[in-house]
Every structure is written in C-alpha cells, then in structure tokens.
C-alpha cells in the first residue's frame, strides 16, 4: 500500500487537498471519484509514521465526504497495527476542519478515560449516524474493527451516491418551475402594465384575457406582501404538521404515491434500507435489531412504520418473509428473495443483491422521469407564456379600428 498526495475539485468547485492510501494512482482516482471529488493531480508521497496531512477541509459543518475519508484513513491505521487512540491522535492533528478536529479529540480523550469506542462516538450522533455507531460496537466486540470501518466507508459512499441520484432527479423540475414562475412574474409585473397603459391611452377596450392578467398584475404589484405572508403561513403550517407523528406519516406515505416522483422516492428509500440492513446483518447483529437500525436510514416515516410492524411480527415468532408478505407495501420480488435468503442462511448477501437491483431500478426511474418531464414542462411553459403573450398582443388587432373612429 502506497501513500499519495492529491489535489481535487469537489461538486461546488472548491479545491480539496489531502492524502490517501492506495495500491496505485488509478485506485486513488477511482476512490476520489466515488466520493464526488474530481482529481486534478495525484503524486506519491513519503510520510513518516502517522504523518498524515489529509483533509484540507474548511471549518464548520462536517461534510459526508469528510466522514468517509476519515473512516477510510482510520481503517487503514487500525489495520496497520496502530491502537485506536494513536490513530485518532494522528488523524486529529492533521484535520483542518476545526469542528471535526474537536470531535475526534473528544472521542480520543473519552477512550483514554475508559469509555468504550462505540460510546465515545455515540456522544456525537449528529455527525455519526446510528448505523455507524452500532457497527463500531460490533467491530469492537469481535476484533474486526478495521473490516467494519471499511464496510462503513463503502456503505457511506453508496448511500451518498443514492441520495445524489434522488436529489438530481428532483433538481431539474424544481429549476424549471422556478424559471417559469420568475418569467411569469417578470411579464406580469413589468411588461404587461406598459402594454396596458398604451391601450388605455388609445381608448381601447381590453379583452377578457388581458383584463384577467391585469388583475393578477395589479395584485402582484400592490399586494405582494399578502402573497408572501400566505406563502410563509402555508410553509409554517406544513412544517408544524410534518413535525407531528401523524403528519409525517401521512405526508411521507403520500410522497411514495406521487406519479413518477413517488417511484423514485420508494426505490431510493428501499435501496438505502437494503444496503444498510445487509451491512448490519453481515456484521453479526440479529435480524430484529438490524431492521430497526436500517429502517431509520430509509428516511421515510411510512416505511419505518411498515418495518416496525415486521419487527413486531418477527418478535412474535414469524419469519421475515411471512411478516413482509402481510404488508402490501413490500414488492413481491422482495418477499420472495428474502424467503430464499432465510432458507439458504445467506440473508445478508440476498439483501445486498436486492439493493443493487433497486439501484438499477432507481437509475431507470430517473431516466424515465427526465424523458417524460422535458416535453411536459416545455408544453406547460409554452401554454403559460403563450397565454400571456396573447393577452398582451390581442388588443393590438383592434387598435386600427379605434384609430379610425378617433380620426
């Protein structure tokens, strides 16, 4: 294993420098791309023991990429024979993100005082997810901490990739809708009033479409504060309702039923659950605890409630596939494959294969969304802008007649 110094660019165009262990430059290139970094230069570096200068990270919020790199580096040091406190000390000295540095130092101090590794990490739940802490506990107990850490890092990379795919699927429609709204406001607020003043001076009787848009324009111009207040109140009411258990359950269930978008949300949530459950089960945690830990990763209250019901049925003596079969939410293929995994004793590998299958379905759903939404949004934009243009220019056709009467 060699040590490499890299300079890369992240998704926001910011420069990121650091060190990483790999067999060759190609492996470094692949590892960086997996976590959303685009290499600019990669050079082999010679460093002394624990002289890791990785993580050229800005202070403040701890990004997921930072957590992945930290986990990979920690796994490498532990596998190389360093004690956990030595590894944490070496890493904390080189992290430039002051918030993250403080957390790692705190963890090291707690471990030196006799706190277990998992409990030391548990103090920082906002940084380390529950699955991270649970697996650390398993690695600590079984003496396979380096393998567990590498498994966590791989899982986090995949999890980021899944959420980025989902976010990218929703980003384009949001952008187009924002552009449409901005164009409409510009036309109604600035362009239409100028046309109307010309028609009014000419004594022209405005047609119905123009009068309708004029009313909307006047409302936006003189009562925009009311519109802002209404939008804010609706948003606040939504957040309050969503913060309740019933509200979150209802809204998250509805999200899974929205045309096309619901399928993407469902595939993404199931994929995250399956990958995390496979990882936890493969680490030796029993199936009930594994489902409980992995269900929270899905990020959907309705899916969590469905999986909680499955947990309860398993606790009563039912097997997983039978418990899932009773719930209409779970796809039949998922129930069938879980049943095969139970009978063969390889449930974790079956769940991992299912997760890969859902990853492919997610990619297909996103491509299908793009294929459908492009023409749909163009048509909607064309209708809206076309109606506004018609309303603005329609009075022009009667202007010659008005001038004839005048003169």
- pLDDT at residue 139, rounded to an integer: 82
- pLDDT at residue 240, rounded to an integer: 93
Q: Is 9 exposed, middle or buried (0-12, 13-18, 19+ CB in 10 A)?
A: middle
- pLDDT at residue 236, rounded to an integer: 94
- pLDDT at residue 9, rounded to an integer: 74
pTM comes to 0.64
The sign of the torsion formed by the CA atoms of 347, 285, 143, 84 equals: positive
- pLDDT at residue 59, rounded to an integer: 38
What are the structural domains of the chain? 2-128 (1.20.81.30), 166-407 (1.20.81.30)
Could you list the pLDDT tens digit for every one of the 407 residues in the chain? Answer: 566 777 777 666 666 676 676 667 777 777 777 666 777 778 776 544 434 333 333 334 778 888 888 888 888 888 888 888 888 888 887 777 788 888 888 898 888 888 888 888 888 888 888 888 888 888 877 778 888 888 888 888 888 888 887 787 777 778 877 887 887 878 777 777 777 777 666 666 677 877 888 788 778 777 878 888 998 999 999 999 998 989 999 999 988 888 767 888 888 888 888 888 888 888 778 888 888 888 877 778 898 899 899 888 888 888 888 888 888 888 888 888 889 888 888 888 888 888 888 888 888 877 777 777 778 777 887 888 788 778 777 777 665 554 444 44
What angle, rounded to 10 degrees, do the helices at 98-112 and 64-79 form? Answer: 40
Instruction: Measure the CA angle with vertex 112, ends 99 and 114; round to 5°.
Output: 115
- pLDDT at residue 57, rounded to an integer: 35
- pLDDT at residue 250, rounded to an integer: 92
- pLDDT at residue 265, rounded to an integer: 83
Q: How far is CA 405 from CA 204, 247, 266, 294, 396, in A?
A: 11, 63, 65, 78, 15
- pLDDT at residue 170, rounded to an integer: 76
Q: What share of the chain is helix, strand, coil (3-state, %, to 5)?
A: 75, 5, 20
Please give the full DSSP string across 45-56, using - where no structure is assigned. Answer: ----TT------
Sheet holding 38-44, edge to edge: 15-22, 2-9, 38-44
Q: Return the H-helix or E-strand segment holding 10.
A: none
> Do 131 and 155 touch, CB atoms closer than 8 A?
yes
> Do 298 and 306 touch, CB atoms closer than 8 A?
no
3-state secondary structure of 361: helix
Number of C-beta neighbours around residue 111 at 10 A: 18
């Amino acid at each position: 294993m060699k040590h490499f110094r890299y300079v890369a660019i992240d998704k926001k165009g910011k420069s990121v420098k650091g060190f990483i262990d790999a067999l060759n430059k190609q492996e470094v290139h692949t590892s960086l791309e997996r976590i959303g970094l685009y290499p600019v230069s990669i050079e082999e570096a010679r460093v002394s023991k624990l002289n890791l200068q990785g993580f050229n990270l800005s202070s403040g919020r701890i990004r997921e990429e930072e957590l992945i790199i930290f986990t990979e580096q920690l796994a490498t040091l532990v596998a190389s024979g360093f004690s956990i406190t030595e590894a944490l000390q070496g890493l904390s000295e080189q992290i430039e993100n002051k918030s993250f540095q403080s957390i790692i130092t705190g963890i090291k101090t707690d471990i030196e005082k006799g706190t277990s590794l998992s409990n030391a990490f548990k103090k920082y739940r906002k940084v380390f997810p529950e699955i991270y802490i649970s697996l650390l506990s398993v690695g600590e107990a079984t003496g396979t901490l380096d393998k567990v850490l590498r498994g966590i890092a791989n899982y986090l990379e995949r999890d980021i990739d899944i959420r980025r795919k989902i976010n990218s699927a929703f980003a384009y429609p949001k952008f187009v809708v924002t552009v449409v709204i901005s164009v409409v406001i510009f036309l109604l607020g600035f362009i239409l009033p100028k046309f109307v003043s010309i028609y009014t001076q000419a004594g022209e009787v405005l047609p119905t479409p123009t009068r309708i848009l004029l009313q909307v324009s006047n409302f936006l111009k003189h009562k925009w504060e009311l519109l802002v207040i209404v939008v804010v109140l609706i948003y606040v009411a939504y957040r309050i309702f969503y913060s309740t258990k019933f509200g979150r359950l209802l809204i998250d269930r509805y999200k899974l039923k929205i045309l096309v978008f619901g399928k993407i949300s469902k595939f993404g949530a199931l994929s995250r659950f399956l990958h995390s459950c496979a990882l936890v089960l493969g680490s030796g945690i029993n199936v009930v605890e594994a489902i409980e830990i992995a269900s929270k990763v899905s990020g959907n209250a309705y899916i969590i409630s469905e999986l909680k019901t499955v947990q309860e049925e398993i606790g009563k003596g039912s097997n997983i596939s039978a418990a899932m079969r009773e719930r209409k939410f779970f796809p039949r293929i998922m129930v069938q494959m879980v049943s095969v995994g139970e009978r063969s004793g390889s449930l974790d590998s079956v769940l991992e294969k299912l997760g890969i299958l859902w990853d492919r379905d997610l990619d297909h759903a996103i491509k299908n969304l793009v294929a459908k939404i492009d023409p749909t949004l163009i048509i909607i934009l064309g209708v809206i802008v076309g109606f506004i243009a018609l309303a603005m220019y329609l009075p022009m056709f009667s202007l010659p007649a008005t001038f004839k009467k005048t003169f």
